[in-house]
Structure 1
Amino acid sequence: MLGHDKVPARVVVKGIVRYPVIQWTEDLTVARAIVTAEYLGARDPIVISIRRGRESFYVDPARLALGIVDPWLEPGDIVELHTSTASNPPYGLYTTSILQDERAGSRVEDR
C-alpha cells in the first residue's frame, strides 16, 4: 500500500440539483440519490437515465414516484435528470424499459 487514503465512492447526479456529486452507500437508490442531491427543478423530470460504464438504463419517473421501480446504484454511476420537452427520449428507452419490466417479472397488462 502506498499510504494513500482510500477515495470514497461517488455517484454523479446531472440536472438541476444543489449537490451534483454525492457519496455512494450500499443502500443508495435512484430516488435516494435525487433526494440527497436536492433536486431543484420547477417540474418533474420526464426521463431519468443511469449511465454505468458503457451501458445506459432508463427509469420511468412516474413509476419511480409511485414506488414501482427504484433501481440500486453502484459506485461511479451517473444519474441524469432530463427535464426538457424539446428532445425526444432515445428509442432504446422504450425497448430497455420493456425488457427491464419483463426481467423484474411484471407483465405488459400490469402497466
Structure 2
Amino acid sequence: MKKIITFCFFAFALVLGTQNAVAQNKLEINKVANEKAYELRKELKFSDDALEETYQAYREKALKEYSLAKHDGVNTPAYAKNMATVEAKFSATMESVLTEEQYKRFTIINESK
C-alpha cells in the first residue's frame, strides 16, 4: 500500500512538472510575440488595434509552430507542409491587418530576417 501511494505521488509530481514546463513555453511564446509586434510597430507605425492583431497573429503562429514541432518533429515532410500552411495563414492575417504600403514593407522586413 505504501508503494502505491508513493508511486501515485511521483506520478502526480511528474504531471505538475510537465504542466509547468508547458506554461513556461507559452509565457516565452507570448513574450517573443509581444517583442516582435512592438518591433514591427516601430518600423511600420500602426495603430493600437493593429498592434493587438499583430501580436495575436505572431502568438498564434508561434503556438502552432511549437505544437507542430512537438507533434511532427522538426525535420519531417509533415512539419514542412504544415508550416507552409501556418506561414500562409500568418501572411494573410498580416495582409488584412496592415495597409497595402505597410504590408509591402512588412514583406521586405520579413524576407530580410
TM range (shorter): 0.3 to 0.5
TM-score by length of 1: 0.33
Query: Relative contact order, CA 8 A, sep 6+: which one is greater?
Result: 1
Larger Rg: 2
TM-score by length of 2: 0.33
Larger helix fraction of residues: 2
